[in-house]
Copies of this chain bind each other. A is one copy, B any other.
């Protein structure tokens, strides 16, 4: 049987979605529980029925992002041309995430993760998941065993992740400057992916 989605979980997910705005505008330390509750459209007391503490919200938020990423990759992995699909997903992500506020959140998460070990663990899990997913794509498109790919190209995966993150954290001025920079980022990512061997198709 499929796991039934508890209504409370659904509610929690909706709360997490609304709460992002408050965190974007004020930061994790700057946003108060009052702010979060207001943004979620409920009272402070009721808020605590869904999340036992402020720290729990932050952790749930990051964990939720990890779930989203897994979903993106499951799409990529089942596609007929995973590597091509990966490239276009990254392109879209880099071009869209410029001014949508998602970068603010990631900058916040990065800063906190370098400071708080318990957050570092969660972010570390996410990066491990990303690298595993990326190397899996590499493995499929190259035909090499996953273990070999991890040995040789894990750093390539990390590097791509780093570039995507970094470009999402750029200040958005919507000028030529940013467009040129985005182009350079995408070119570099593509060059990095070009270094992964490709399986020669048999006719």
* Contacts from A to B (Cβ < 8 Å): 24-27, 29-30, 103-104, 107-108, 110-115, 120, 123-124, 127, 154-156, 158-159, 162-163, 165-167, 169-171, 177, 180-181, 183-185, 188, 192
Contacts and interface: CB of A to CB of B under 8 A. Distances in A.
Main secondary structure of the interface of A (DSSP, over half): helix
A133 to B, nearest CB: 16
Given A27-B29, A188-B188, 14 more contacts: A25-B115, A27-B112, A27-B115, A103-B114, A104-B114, A104-B115, A107-B114, A110-B111, A110-B169, A113-B171, A154-B177, A154-B180, A159-B188, A162-B185
Each complex incorporates copies of this chain amounting to 2
A114 B107 CA distance: 8
